[in-house]
Amino acid sequence: MMVHHSKRATELAVALALKWKAELYLVHVLEERRVPKDFSQFAKMEDVSPLDYFDLVSKRLLEPAANRAKAAGVRKVEAISLRGDPANQILRTARDHDVDLIVLGNRGLGKFSRSFLGSVSAKVLQYAKCACVTVK
């Protein structure tokens, strides 16, 4: 199940990809230093490492979105699951695939949280070599 901001960003990205007959890259990034504690418990039940469990969950999150995009008629859809700094991985993926537009979900962190934790969308907006859209 996608969270609200990710779902809306995906819906916009699919609509734009259809309109412009563009390729669509769906990206999900785990910041490795923030592996949720629940992942360790579930990973034990699946007899895999927490990071391998993340890969499994990430694929389960991306697959339905990719299937919806394909069913809607997007000509090329690629689901990409990565680990590391989310902003850096998004920027690297955009560069590697020569994308024209990045569509991001915005979690809507408050000013304090954003300044303390940093903001993925703010970093991507600042350093991207292409146009960006954030979706709330």
pLDDT at 89: 97
23 forms bridges with which residues in the sheet?
76
73: left (phi > 0), else alpha (psi -120 to 50), else beta? left
Residues in the chain, pLDDT under 50? 1, 113-114, 116-117
pLDDT at 108: 58
- Domain of 96 in residue numbering reads as 4-135
Global pTM value: 0.84
* 40: CATH: 3.40.50.620
The number of angstroms, rounded, from the C-alpha of 87 to the middle of its chain's C-alpha atoms is 10
pLDDT at 17: 98
3-state SS track over the chain: CCCHHHHHHHHHHHHHHHHHCCEEEEEEEECHHHCCHHHHHHHHHHCCCHHHHHHHHHHHHHHHHHHHHHHHCCCEEEEEEEECCHHHHHHHHHHHCCCCEEEEECCCCCHHHHHHHCCHHHHHHHHCCCEEEEEC
Query: How many residues are recorded in the chain?
Result: 136
Domain count for the chain, please give it: 1
